[in-house]
Amino acid sequence: MKIVEVETLRRWLAEGKPVTVVDVRPKDQRKEGQVPGSVHIDAYAKLRADDENALAGLELPRDQSVVTVCAADNASRVAADQLEPLHRVDLELDWVLPNDTSTF
Three-state helix/strand/coil letters over 8-45: HHHHHHHHCCCEEEEECCCHHHHHHCCCCCCEECCCHH
pLDDT value of position 102: 58
Task: Indicate yes or no: pTM above 0.75.
Answer: yes
Residues ≥6 apart with Cβ < 8 Å to 10? 103, 104
Q: What is the DSSP letter of 51?
A: -
Question: Does pLDDT of 100 surpass 80?
Answer: no
Cβ pair 73, 95 in contact under 8 A: no
Exposure of 81 by Cβ count < 10 A (0-12 exposed, 13-18 middle, 19+ buried)? middle
The model's pLDDT over 43-77, given as tens digits with 9 standing for 90+, comes to: 999 999 999 999 988 988 878 888 888 877 688 88
DSSP 85: T
- Residue 99 to residue 3: CA distance in whole angstroms: 19
